[in-house]
Amino acid sequence: MNGLMHLPILPVVLPLIAGIVLLALRNAPLRLQRGVSLVAVLALIPLAIAMIQAAADGTHLVYALGNWVAPYGIVLVVDRLAAWMLLTTALLAVFALLYAIQGSDQNGRHFHVLFQLQLFGLNGAFLTGDLFNLFVFFEILLLASYGLLLHGGGRQRVKAGLHYVVINLVGSTLFLFAVGTLYGVAGTLNMADLAVKLAATPAEHAALVQSAALLLFGVFALKAALLPLYLWLPAAYAHTSAPVAALFAIMTKVGAYSILRVYSLMAGDTGPLANLLDAWLAPLALATLTLGMLGVVASTTLKQQAAYLVVASIGTLLLAFGLGSVDAVAAGLYYLPHSTFAAAALFLLADSISRARGEFADRFESGHEMPGARVLGGLFFVVAAAIAGMPPLSGFLGKFMLLKAALDSPLLPWVWGVVLVTGLMSVIALARSGSLLFFRTHSPHDPLSLTPPRNAALAPVAGLLLLVIGLVIWAGPVSDYATATAAQLLQPQQYIGAVLGVAPRPPEGQVTGGMPLAGTAP
């Protein structure tokens, strides 16, 4: 039990310390830097698994930083959702890093430092129970992402990066406006306390609270790339380096996570924010899914297509969250790691394909026959089947759960129509891409000029695909966990009670048995 006491803070401080150590080691041999970075990322996996085990029975591990209890201090909270997001991030980061250490981390300086700080920001954002602290962790992960996005340089990358940075700075300003308004009305920033205070808002402040909450929704929608705020994503993701694009597959999910976390807590059944997002989230998600898929069909390069597939997957995810029932949210939570891993695999594979095609890179035009086309094509087929949601892979299960959950929703015809039609469109688009890349080829004039894919570069793709397949093999336990998570989220009283009910810990010497000791504090 005592070992569990500091568990919630570890995934936050470990990448931070690793980042600082790597900064100090910036002149050390590359092999050492890579080793430190990889060990630090690998260590996140057992931590995340320990958290899932601790949270699986429905407990909330609440960690009061500096022993300042909520609502006065900042708390970190581990519940099923946070642990789930942490595990997804850790697994994704391992494979992105395994790809990066094969060379692309040398294209610029401080890749590993930025990578660790990115994880620091991500893990912090998933764990924090304080709205302003969420802003701070957003800024950390964004600042690291700016560095990673621009890593390696190049004109297209700088141009896309400038748009990404400016739009996110505007987003941060709006975030602060929303947080300030909520603080001005409720006088607290702790999310659990906010939920209590906002439910009891006097009627004359209702409009103010609603506008702040919708402003906050706008900010999260920007991070999640929800229509109409998705325009920054395709260029940014298509032009950055492959491991960074793979890691960024989780970045849009941070926005989706924040929407789920903040609104499941603050909305409540009564009060000014009840059902606030019902009119917005699901329709916007449907439109995002449609437009994202049109982008997929119209893409001219494979990386661009992968980026639009990320937009489409966020549409599916937020559609699930927008429907709001336990089954729908559970479907979304099952779909979330699937879409993250599959999108990351496609970005990594696109990079290998692009190298193997020489001058044609990843453009959709008839090019040279690739060396190693069988392996690349086989992997592409599996990735495409996973992303398009073909049975028996996990994309199919996720969408099936979503369609089933929509049965008693008033949006039923829309959900079924859009999800099924966009699914068909993605099959057609990916089949066309695959046939262009692999079948409509001609022999190169100089076969030696093309580099065959290295096995080491394909291993991370295969690893991510194994995770996708693992999601199918263990679909029972995973969907049970997702359903339990959704049920927990839809009963915010548990979270609120756990956060606000924590007593300060007594000084170290007096701990007996290690249980939370209410009433024994000096």
Q: What's the min distance (Å) between Cβ of 146 and another protein?
A: 7
Q: What's the min distance (Å) between Cβ of 147 and another protein?
A: 9
Interaction between residue 156 and another protein (CB under 8 A): yes
Residue whose structure tokens are 């400016």:
166
Interaction between residue 17 and another protein (CB under 8 A): no
> Interface with another protein by CB under 8 A: which range of 165-173, 341-349, 476-484, 493-501?
165-173
> Interface with another protein by CB under 8 A: which range of 55-63, 77-85, 170-178, 509-517?
170-178
Interaction between residue 166 and another protein (CB under 8 A): yes
Closest by alpha carbon to 15, among 47, 62, 61? 47
DSSP string, 103-142: TGGGSSS-HHHHHHHHHHHHHHHHHB-BHHHHHHHHHHHH
DSSP-derived pairing of the beta strands 61-64 and 75-78: antiparallel
Interaction between residue 170 and another protein (CB under 8 A): yes
| Residues in the chain, total | 522
Closest by alpha carbon to 158, among 235, 54, 226? 235
Rounded Cα–Cα distance for residues 352 and 456 (Å): 11
Interaction between residue 414 and another protein (CB under 8 A): no
Nearer to another protein, 172 or 201 (CB): 172
Interaction between residue 132 and another protein (CB under 8 A): yes
Taking CB under 8 A as the criterion, which residues in 469-508 touch another protein?
Answer: none
Nearer to another protein, 172 or 325 (CB): 172
One of 139, 218, 436, 462 touching another protein (CB under 8 A): 139
Please calculate the CA angle 62-219-113 and round it to the nearest 5 degrees. Answer: 65
Interaction between residue 118 and another protein (CB under 8 A): no
Nearer to another protein, 109 or 374 (CB): 109
Closest by alpha carbon to 438, among 368, 383, 385? 368
Rounded Cα–Cα distance for residues 158 and 152 (Å): 10
Interaction between residue 172 and another protein (CB under 8 A): yes
One of 42, 146, 427, 511 touching another protein (CB under 8 A): 146
Pair of tokens at residue 307: 């980026």
Instruction: Calculate the dihedral angle through the C-alpha atoms of 406, 408, 414, 419, rounding to the nearest 10 degrees.
Output: 20
The answer to whether 88 and 49 have CB atoms below 8 angstroms apart is no
One of 155, 442, 507, 515 touching another protein (CB under 8 A): 155
One of 103, 153, 497, 514 touching another protein (CB under 8 A): 153
Residues that bind another protein (CB under 8 A): 132, 136, 139, 143, 146, 150, 153-156, 158-159, 161-163, 165-166, 169-170, 172-173, 176-177, 179-181, 183-184, 189
